[in-house]
Amino acid sequence: MCEASAYLVKDGKEELFLEAVDILEPEGDKLRLVNIFGEQKIIKAKIKRMSLVNHKIILEPEEEK
């Protein structure tokens, strides 16, 4: 399988946000993530790093204005 898990960086630590991500797309100033089970989450964050070999997407939350 080629899905990746998305993690949020909080206090310097990676916390799991969504497993088995299939789709990651921008939606305005936010990101929409959808996994292979149809679960979707929308978050105001930026992509800090992606490691496709390790199946990881690292997101950094952005402050709401």
Question: Is 30 domain-assigned?
Answer: yes
Q: Is residue 56 part of a domain?
A: no
Q: How far apart are CA 55 and CA 1, in angstroms?
A: 10
Position 23 in a domain: yes
Instruction: Assess if residue 11 is contained within a domain.
Output: yes
- 65 within some domain: no
Is pLDDT at 14 greater than 80 in this prediction?
yes
Q: Please name the amino acid found at residue 36.
A: I
Domain that holds residue 22: 1-37
Number of domains in the chain: 1
**What per-residue confidence (pLDDT) applies to 42?**
98
Among 54, 61, 53, 59, residue whose Cα is nearest residue 24: 59
Tens of pLDDT, residues 25-64: 999 999 999 999 999 999 999 999 999 899 999 999 997 6
What is this structure's pTM?
Answer: 0.89
Cα separation, 65 vs 62, whole angstroms: 9
Is 5's pLDDT higher than 90? yes
CA-angle at 12, arms to 4 and 15, nearest 5°: 35
